[in-house]
């Protein structure tokens, strides 16, 4: 068995969960925060048989879109007040960040 950990944009999470459930997968949703942007995102845990991993990845790929995000970086430009002016830097987020890991043991007790 494998555990697919997918970090996705909040806006894609509802549709992605619906698609996964409709295709017979079980999903756990966690509300998470990205370390770099400090913005909310969604992490999904999906436990599946090894043969189903590619199907799960293809659903994630179909639903999750790339987006632009912005983060303020300290800049060498000093404003008229003598204060450093933060410069917004654009980053591309996602579609999805996915880890696939081996599950040593799975029990539903």
For position 29 contacting ligand 2BA by CB under 6 A, the verdict is no
CA distance 63 to 31: 18
Which listed residue (37, 45, 78, 85) binds ligand 2BA by CB under 6 A?
37
- In 3D space, the residue among 94, 74, 95 whose CA is nearest the CA of residue 84 turns out to be 74
- Our finding on whether 97 is near ligand 2BA (CB under 6 A) is yes
- Nearest to ligand 2BA of 13, 41 (CB atom): 41
Could you tell me which of 108, 78, 75, 95 has the C-alpha nearest to residue 7? Answer: 95
Query: Contact region for ligand 2BA (CB under 6 A) — 23-31, 34-42, 51-59, 73-81?
Result: 34-42
Give yes or no for residue 80 binding ligand 2BA (CB under 6 A). no
Residue 4 near ligand 2BA by CB under 6 A:
no
For residues 98 and 8, what is the distance between their CA atoms, to the nearest angstrom?
A: 9
């Amino acid at each position: 068995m494998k555990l697919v950990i997918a970090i996705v944009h909040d806006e894609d999470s509802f549709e992605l969960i619906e698609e996964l459930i409709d295709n017979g997968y079980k999903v756990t949703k966690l509300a998470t925060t990205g370390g770099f942007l400090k913005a909310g995102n969604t992490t999904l845990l999906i436990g599946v048989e090894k043969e189903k991993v590619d199907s799960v990845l293809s659903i994630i790929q179909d639903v999750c879109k790339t987006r632009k995000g912005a983060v303020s970086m300290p800049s060498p430009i000093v404003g008229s007040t003598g204060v450093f002016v933060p410069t917004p830097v654009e980053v591309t987020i996602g579609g999805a960040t996915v880890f696939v890991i081996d599950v040593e043991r799975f029990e539903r007790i």
